[in-house]
Amino acid sequence: MALLCYNKGCGQRFDPEHNAEDSCLYHPGVPIFHDALKGWSCCKKRTTDFSEFLSIKGCTKGFHSKEKPPEPSSQEKSSDEPKAQPAKEIIVQGPKSAEKMLRERPSSDEPRQLLPIKVSRSLEQALEKLNMSSEDRTLESTCTGKDKLMEGSGGIYQGPESNTEVCTFHPGVPVFHEGMKYWSCCGIKTTDFSAFMEQPGCSRGRHCWTEKKDKKAVLCRQDWHQTGSQVVVTVYAKNPLPALSSVKANRTVLEAHVIFEGNKIFQAELELWGTIDVERSFVSMVPAKVEITLCKASPGSWARLELPQSKLQCCGEPEKEAASTEEPGAVQDEDSDDSLSWSEEEDEEELEMGTPEMITPSN
């Protein structure tokens, strides 16, 4: 009795007594249907017509088989298709609650470190053209007693014995030209701002002391924006002086001391809403503004720039000036929408309670 051969691609009937080793011509592989092409995994021939696919002759000779092949599982795929990789587990962490953030918040008393300052080429050119008076060139940090006016000296008047000390200073002025930073009295040039600030004086003499002078403290127009990984605080000040300005920060507090054209000083201390990575934060200075880029300690969105209880701190009694497009350093009123000191919610409260007083540091 003739039997049906179940080898793929054969389908003929055969006599078991005359079943030789080369009697059957079949496909040992599996059918493949990919991108409208049809074929067998054991052959290279492909076609788009299903009838032609069924008529493709076998590629291997062997015995006829009367055993019916097992039905393929519905989950099995053809051999030439890539096996699906196990799905990776993605864990999405939601925003932390305000209570948890306060518990994990670092102390605001951590040491503050100076942020590196990047000076733009346009600001260097503006400072070169700026004809500063002797008083403008000798701005120094205020301190008790008397201040010295010698650039690069670092001495502070402690009493009559300070007059006997030898003063090492720079008689010239700072120069910023084509990316180089140096003193007009020296030939030592550097591209690194920190190295420029640490250059020792080139002349020796006696200290020149002067009584501490009041500086014109002003409130500058400010703004801020954020991305997923950064917060950028902008202070609009015309021609900031990088050699005399400084910005310090720890993980939760930002302290800015910006001196700019016209013997004006802007100083602010902000307790930040979130935490930052101080090592990756920096300051950029251009002729019209100072941008403080704070890298967030962890990605996410800040609800506001600073904590509600934080207030703007200014050096001395700030002078109110009318804002103008000609001088970005001009100051707006204390209730300006651009102020960093209060959020929109607090602005609504001001309408009922009045404008909050500015906090001034004690002398």
Q: Are residues 154 and 269 part of one domain?
A: no
206 and 337 assigned to the same domain? no
Q: Quick one: pLDDT at residue 72?
A: 62
Which DSSP symbol is given to 217?
Answer: E
- Where in the sequence is the domain holding 58, given as residue range(s)? 3-62
Q: Is the pLDDT of residue 231 over 80?
A: yes
DSSP 8-class letter at 170: B
87 in a domain, yes or no? no
What CATH number has the domain bearing residue 193? Answer: 4.10.1130.20
Q: Is residue 138 one of the residues assigned to a domain?
A: no
pLDDT in tens, 151-194: 555 555 566 666 667 777 777 777 777 677 778 788 788 877 77
* Residue at 149 is within a domain: yes
Which pLDDT does position 34 carry in this prediction?
82
How many other β-carbons are positioned within 10 Å of the β-carbon of residue 39? 21
Instruction: Indicate whether 117 and 263 sit together in one domain.
Output: yes
Q: Give pLDDT, residue 66.
A: 77
Q: Please report whether residue 206 resides in a domain.
A: yes
Nearest-angstrom CA–CA distance, 143 and 140: 9
| 275-305 pLDDT, tens digit each | 999 999 999 999 999 999 999 998 888 888 9
Predicted pLDDT at 112 = 92
Predicted pLDDT at 100 = 64
Residue 333 binned pLDDT confidence (cut-offs 50, 70, 90): very low
Residues 261 and 287 in one domain: yes
Neighbours of 5 (CB within 10 A): 21
Burial of 7 (0-12, 13-18, 19+ CB in 10 A): buried
Region of poorest pLDDT, from 4-13, 79-88, 156-165, 340-349: 340-349
| Whether residues 226 and 339 fall in one domain | yes
Residue type, 281: S
- CA nearest to 124, candidates 260, 296, 242: 242
For the segment 194-206, the average pLDDT, to the nearest whole number, is: 77
Same domain? For 184 and 265 the reply is no
The mean pLDDT of the chain is: 72
Please indicate, yes or no, whether residues 161 and 238 belong to a single structural domain of this protein: no
Q: Are residues 229 and 339 in the same domain?
A: yes
Total of domains in the chain:
3
Kindly state whether residues 117 and 261 are assigned to the same domain. Answer: yes
